Structure 1
Amino acid sequence: MPLSEYEQRVLEQMERALESDDPRLATTLQRSRRRSPLRFVLAGIGVVLGLLLLVVGVATQQTWLGVVGFALMFAGVATAFAAPRSRGPQGTVRPDGSVAPHGHTSAPHRPAKAKSSGGFMNRLEERWDKRRQQDR
C-alpha cells in the first residue's frame, strides 16, 4: 500500500531533520553498499575447504587439522557476512557534509548547541504533535 501524500511529506521532513541533526549518520544510511560476487565465491571455497579439512582431521584423528579446518570455515563465513569496506572519502565529516582528512585542524569552528531537555526523540515528537495540530 503506497504512502499518502501527508505521510510522504512527514517522511521527507523527518529525513531533512535527520540530515541537519546528524549529517554523518545520514550519509552512512544513504550510501548503498554493493557486495562483490568474488567475495562470496572466495568465502564459499573457504567454507568447503575448511569442512573438508575438518572431516579429514577427524577421520585421521589429527586434532590440529580439524582445528585449522574449523578456523578456515569460520573465516569463510565471517568474510561472507562482514560489511564491505567503504571506499569513499575517509576523515572527519564537517557540519556542511564535506569530509576533512583525519588530523586536519582547520575544520570550521561550530558554536555549541543549546541542549534541549528531551533529546532528539522528544524534539521529533514535539514536531509531530505541532504538525498534527496544524492539520486540524
Structure 2
Amino acid sequence: MPLSEYEQRVLEQMERQLTSDDPKLVSTLRGGRSSLRRWLLTGFGALVGLGMLVVGTAASIPVVGILGFVLMFVLVVLAFTPPRRSGPVGTVQPDGGVRRPAPGQKGKGKGRGFLERLEERWERRRDEGR
C-alpha cells in the first residue's frame, strides 16, 4: 500500500530533521550496505588466503604459503579498519545546531601539526568556558 502525499511529506520532513540533528548517525546508517559487501569480500578473500596457506604447506611450496598468509593478513586488517570518509559532514554546536564546513575548509588543518590542533582546541574550549 503506497503512502499518501501527506505521509510522504511528513517522512521527508523527518528525514531532513534527522539529517540536520545527527549527521553521524545518518552517515553510519547509509554505510550499511557497502559495509556488508566489504565484510563478505574480505571474508571470502581471507578464506582464499587460508586455502593458499594450507595448500602451500601441504605441497611444500613455501611461496604459495607465504602469499596466502600475506593475503589473509591484509584482508583481515582491511576488514577491521573503518572505511575512510571523504570529509567532515558538520560540527554539532552547543545549542544543538549543525554547522556545515565552508567549501574551502574541507582540508583545513591537514598541514598543521597534531600539537597545534590540540592547542587550538584547548584555547577554543577555554574561551567558551568564560
TM-score, normalising length from structure 1? 0.45
Q: Which has the larger radius of gyration?
A: 1
Higher helix share: 2
